[in-house]
Amino acid sequence: MPDVLNYRESFNYSWRRAAPEGARTPDLGLVLVLGVSPINRVVVGRIVECAGLKAVCETPQNARRSLLACHPGTVIFDCGADNGECDGFAAAFAQFRALHGGALPLLITLSPAALPIGRALAEFADAIISKPITVEGLQPTLVRLIESARS
């Protein structure tokens, strides 16, 4: 099993840069973690922090407010046990992404392997990770997406 936490090169120097003051562009060093389960939010938040990024964890009810307040470069959405949490967030996410040119923020959805995610959010997802949530499953995908967005 590869050790994904030990990269040859440290990514912290470029990802910890905050967006310039007054700028309304998404910050690729900031990840908004959304989910109903507080345990899953903590697990995902720790995986994000181990990648050298800053995590802001919120419930889906506060998703719209958090998107507008912190302008994250990436959103990780835990769709819940039955994927029922995803659809209410799709309209807010689509509107926020359109305000920023359609590419950012990146969206990673966490979904049970046996269930497809909601159609409304599936069209925006840059990656879909099957549960259970593991470092080996989430962190390489997160790093790859952010690296490609930076270039």
Can you list the domains of the chain with their CATH numbers? 36-150 (3.40.50.2300)
Please give the C-alpha separations between residue 124 and each of 19, 62, 90, 98, 105, in angstroms, as whole numbers: 23, 19, 8, 11, 10
Secondary-structure breakdown of the chain: helix, strand, coil percentages, each rounded to the nearest 5: 40, 20, 40
Does residue 6 register a pLDDT over 90?
A: no
Task: Measure the CA–CA gap between 97 and 125, rounded to whole angstroms.
Answer: 12
Q: Which of 83 and 49 is assigned the larger pLDDT?
A: 49
Q: Which of 124 and 75 is assigned the larger pLDDT?
A: 75
The predicted structure's pLDDT at residue 150: 86
Task: Measure the CA–CA gap between 16 and 20, rounded to whole angstroms.
Answer: 12
Average pLDDT over residues 15-22: 43
Work out the pLDDT band at 115, boundaries 50, 70, 90: low
Task: Measure the CA–CA gap between 31 and 25, rounded to whole angstroms.
Answer: 14
